Amino acid sequence: MSSKSRIEWTDATWNPVTGCTKISTGCKNCYAERIAKRFWDRPFAEVRCHPDKLFEPKKWRKPRKVFVCSMSDLFHKDVPDSFISDVFMAMALDARQHTYMILTKRPARMMEFMNGSHECVQHHIWLGVSVENQEMADERIPILLDTSAVIRFVSVEPMLGEVNLEKYFHGRLRKLDWVICGCESGRGARPTNVFWADLLRAQCQLYKIPFFLKQLRGDGRLIKMPELNGRVWDQYPEDLKRYGR
């Protein structure tokens, strides 16, 4: 399952690992699990590694932003360290081609791996954590900030409560470089208050952090790339130069 993506903040998905298990409340209505139930012949909780997919991005001629393991979590306990190393080796070979974006809800294992494998720290490999509320932000972001990486980002999606990231934007040598935000989608989607998203947007503006607002609900429907505070927010870490950071 590696293809052009409908996810607004990336160009393509690449899944050398598939399958995952729920770890926090943000997993309740997992979009990947919904896809798996439609197309897979096995339980979503069965984690599999796919060596045949490792070098698939090298076949793509046009440079892309690539979401790694959109149908899994690369740092799931059932993924061997040796295979994680294989994934990073494959990404390292594409330093002049693609940008790889890795999101995890298991940052402790990511930190352990990255801090012990400094050759994996490269400019085109971005590391992020997914958080859904303040509790998960306070649990996962400090670990991310202690993880060796060039670009560190946070995806607040699904946004299930107010999330204040101000303390992670200043006062440390290592800062956040990007924030993504979005509401939950699909049947049974839990609500996101527009005020929560706007508060997060305001924090990012204040501390010069690129902000990407993926989706919100309005008038009973899902709105992709909505306007907030008078504009669409589609910033990337490349915008750090414009901010003078």
* Bigger pLDDT: 107 vs 238: 107
CATH of 10-243 among 3.30.40, 1.10.3470, 3.20.20, 3.30.750:
3.20.20
Helix (H, G, I), strand (E, B), or coil: what is residue 71? coil
**Residues 21-45 pLDDT 10s:** 999 999 999 999 999 999 999 999 9
The Cβ of residue 173 has, within 10 Å, a number of other Cβ atoms equal to: 5
What ranges do the domains of the chain cover? 10-243
* Bigger pLDDT: 112 vs 94: 112
Confidence (pTM): 0.94
- Residue 230's Cβ-count burial label (10 Å; 0-12, 13-18, 19+) is exposed
Residue the block writes with tokens 């839990």: 190
In which band, very low, low, confident or very high, does the pLDDT at 50 lie, cut at 50, 70 and 90?
A: very high
pLDDT value at residue 139? 98
Phi, psi for residue 131 in degrees, rounded to 5: -135, 150
Whose CA is closest to 135, among 157, 111, 161, 154? 161
Whose CA is closest to 92, among 62, 117, 128, 112? 117
**Residues 131-143 pLDDT 10s:** 999 999 999 999 9
